[in-house]
Structure 1
Amino acid sequence: MENNKGILLESGTNELEIVEFCIGKNKFGINVIKVKEIIHPIPVTFIPHAHPTVEGIIELRGEVLPVVDVARSLGLPPSENPQDDKYIVAEFNKQKIVFHVHSVTQIHRISWQEIEKPSEMYQGQNSQVIGVVKLRGEMVLLLDFEKIVVDINPDSGINVQQVKKLGKRERSTKRLLVAEDSPLLRKLLFDTLSEAGFDQVEFFENGKDAIFYLESLVEEGKNIVDEIQLVITDIEMPQMDGHHLTKRIKTNPNLKKLPVIIFSSLITDDLRHKGEMVGANYQVSKPEIAELVLKIDKFVL
């Protein structure tokens, strides 16, 4: 796992690979493109008054990285066999974090269509689960690692203050389409885009619903650029991811003029080429909402 650049070289296939890991008897997953490497635990330096789920810090190849106890974050018991534990070194939102798990089992290649969105009945507003996938008769829960980090450090999330620093802005009549599966992030995007002057926004929970809406407008004979002026999409979404959504837009003669901005925690130097391959006009890393607004301005003002 030290170098996963050879994994999923294609882009826009609506597939992903997940690293399956365990906390006790519970099985969870993390998108493999977030994973830099998997290592055995090394000595941790305790940090006084740190967040309860932060075990401390380690030095790895000259970098000082925080270690997050995933079991404690999920409210689960500690490891019964700590000698078998693993550290998952992950990178997203322009930061590296080490996640302490109990074991790492294998890698699965699946389609986003196989991932079910958790039901509101059992998910709960503060759930860290963003998807459920059935593998070998068992259920693997995909975790929202961004939420785990924001729960530890709220300042690492989208902040409307970033937009306010741009100064007074006029109301815009332009209509934006946003594909984002997280209810929390949809609310934050609504608030920040409204602050930026964009209050005519159509929100969709995944790329599948978004492309269905866009294609239905075309079927109705409407000029798409009169209806929607710009698309903003996350990457990780059940049913259809943002790369596949972008590819569907850019390969459709009736939709390809639509500007697409990918707004995701997965925009890194190693992964930026994936968005370029499917024709994204811009890519902005979460939580840089002010940069997103400035990119929107280039197309709709």
Structure 2
Amino acid sequence: MDTNKGILLESGTNELEIVEFTIGNNKFGINVIKVKEIINPVAITQIPHAHPTVEGIIELRGEVLPVVDVATALGFPKSTNPVQDKFIVAEFNKQKVVFHVHTVTQIHRISWDQIEKPSEMYQGADSQVIGVVKLHGDMVLLLDFEKIVVEINPESGINVQQIKKLGERERSTKRLLVAEDSPLLRKLLSDTLSEAGFQQVEFFENGRDALNYLESLLDSGRNVTEAVQLVITDIEMPQMDGHHLTKRIKEHAQLSKLPVIIFSSLITEDLRHKGQMVGANGQVSKPEIAELVLLIDELIL
């Protein structure tokens, strides 16, 4: 399958492309931006006492990469037809990981507003599903690959120890708005920003809710910059992604002066230009929370 980055969309359109793959009879999706390439399985070297979802390591063009069995990570049966299996080589959070899936089918171009947030009724606290897309009579589940990796290696996630190294600084009067769809990351961000001294943080599950809140402040006659001094947004979110949120803020006559930081696992040198095109004041790759705090300090003195 061709995953040439030439198919990627312009910034701020609120669209994305997903690679559809299967585990058993279930269909799942991964943002094509995360996908470096898709290959046939190669020989895996097993690692003693590895995490149960890690099959081992492979060498790919001089790099040693871990292989994660997605079926095991989801609690599903292993592949019954290994001949069809595929390895999805992905990159995010400044690391590369190989995801072992059962088949790879096609690429879909969709809008973020087609993606429904999973219901708490069936999602559960430990679910790795971050969105549901209805396509041609089927349901495609979008997975939280960052959570899968953090569960394997907690040190790869947001770490409060990074904040403690910064030392104390008065930040209690600074008012932040954060758009982040992952419950796990909202909790981690809440804990680490609180540790850094930020006591006034409003959290929203997606860009649309965040923008509606900002517009409601204007409608009520409040001074937006008194209620919110800076916006932090993820990129991948149902309903409205972070690039589109940033674009809408920067094109809004009364909101455009609000500083916006994109804090995402998708911040790479290849993709940084997308945030620049929509006017982001800064971009920080997860999980660099200390870098995020220092940038906040820079933008709101």
- TM-score strictly above 0.5: yes
Q: Is 1:281 aligned to residue 274 of structure 2?
A: no
| TM-score for the superposition, normalised by structure 2 | 0.98
Task: Decide whether the 8 Å contact of 2:39 with 2:87 is kept in 1.
Answer: yes
Which residue number corresponds to residue 70 of structure 1? 70
Which residue number corresponds to residue 250 of structure 2? 250
Measured in 2, the distance between the counterparts of 1:142 and 1:133 equals 8
Which residue number corresponds to residue 42 of structure 2? 42
Which residue number corresponds to residue 241 of structure 2? 241
Letter in 1 for 2:154: P
Which residue number corresponds to residue 140 of structure 1? 140
Task: Decide whether the 8 Å contact of 1:15 with 1:111 is kept in 2.
Answer: yes
Which residue number corresponds to residue 228 of structure 2? 228
Aligned alpha-carbon RMSD (Å):
1.0
Measured in 2, the distance between the counterparts of 1:99 and 1:237 equals 21
Task: Decide whether the 8 Å contact of 2:265 with 2:287 is kept in 1.
Answer: yes
Task: Decide whether the 8 Å contact of 1:230 with 1:260 is kept in 2.
Answer: yes
The DSSP-based 3-state class of the residue aligned with 1:236 is coil
Which residue number corresponds to residue 18 of structure 1? 18
- Give the gaps of 5 or more residues in structure 1: none
Task: Decide whether the 8 Å contact of 1:2 with 1:36 is kept in 2.
Answer: no
Task: Decide whether the 8 Å contact of 1:4 with 1:33 is kept in 2.
Answer: no
Measured in 1, the distance between the counterparts of 2:227 and 2:280 equals 20
Which residue number corresponds to residue 206 of structure 2? 206
The DSSP-based 3-state class of the residue aligned with 1:6 is helix
The structural deviation recorded for 1:3 is: 5.2
Which residue number corresponds to residue 90 of structure 2? 90
| TM-score for the superposition, normalised by structure 1 | 0.98
The DSSP-based 3-state class of the residue aligned with 2:110 is strand
Task: Decide whether the 8 Å contact of 1:190 with 1:199 is kept in 2.
Answer: no
Measured in 1, the distance between the counterparts of 2:214 and 2:244 equals 14
Measured in 1, the distance between the counterparts of 2:138 and 2:191 equals 38
Q: Is 1:117 aligned to residue 117 of structure 2?
A: yes
Q: Extract structure 1 runs of 4+ deviating beyond 4 A.
A: none
- Give the gaps of 5 or more residues in structure 2: none
Which residue number corresponds to residue 191 of structure 1? 191
Which residue number corresponds to residue 149 of structure 2? 149
Measured in 1, the distance between the counterparts of 2:257 and 2:246 equals 12
The structural deviation recorded for 1:177 is: 0.3
Measured in 2, the distance between the counterparts of 1:131 and 1:15 equals 14
Measured in 2, the distance between the counterparts of 1:251 and 1:170 equals 32
Aligned residues: 301
Question: Which piece of structure 1 moves more, 239-248 or 7-16?
Answer: 7-16
Letter in 2 for 1:203: F
Q: Calculate percent identity across the aligned residue pairs.
A: 82
